[in-house]
Amino acid sequence: MVVASDVLSQLRRGALEYCVLGLLAGEERYGFDIARTLGAIDGMVTGQGTLYPLLSRLKKDGHVSATWRESESGPPRKYYAITAEGRRALADFTTQWRRFRDAVDDILPEEQT
């Protein structure tokens, strides 16, 4: 199963940032919320903490913007919102992803049980 887990981690590395953008497409969210939401999906992240460097990279690329805000119920939170450029990148990835997914699905044999 070494090969399978390797492939999964490669796929995850490529797709995760777009999953974050996809999550932010609907509404802005703060770090903890993003980490918890993606962490709850099986096979999405290996450690929730690694999402923070990813968010920082997305910010550097101009795909998200971030602002610290006081919270009524705890410590200050950093809110992330998708930018116009982020939306373009997300739309582009979505098209390519669907095409790729369909192509792979077409070629792979039916699941054997």
Partner 1 sequence: MMTATHPVAEDYLRRFERAARALPARQRQELVAEIRSHVSTGLAPDSTEADVHSLLDELGTPEAIVAAAQPDLPTARRGLRETLALVLMVFGFIPILGWIVGVALMLSSTLWSGRQKLLGILVWPGGLGSVVLLGGFVSVASGAPCGTEVNPQVTPTQGYLTATAPDPCAETHTSWPVTGVALIVLIVLAQLAVAGYLYQAAGRRSLQAQPA
Q: Is 32 in the site for partner 1 (CB under 8 A)?
A: yes
Shortest CB 72 distance to partner 1, Å? 8
Using CB under 8 A, pick the residue from 11, 25, 56, 67 that binds partner 1.
56
The two structure tokens encoding residue 19: 């999953």
> What share of residues in the chain are helix, strand, coil (percent, to 5)?
65, 15, 20
Shortest CB 109 distance to partner 1, Å? 28
Shortest CB 39 distance to partner 1, Å? 6
HSE value, Cβ hemisphere, 13 Å, CA-based, for 85: 8
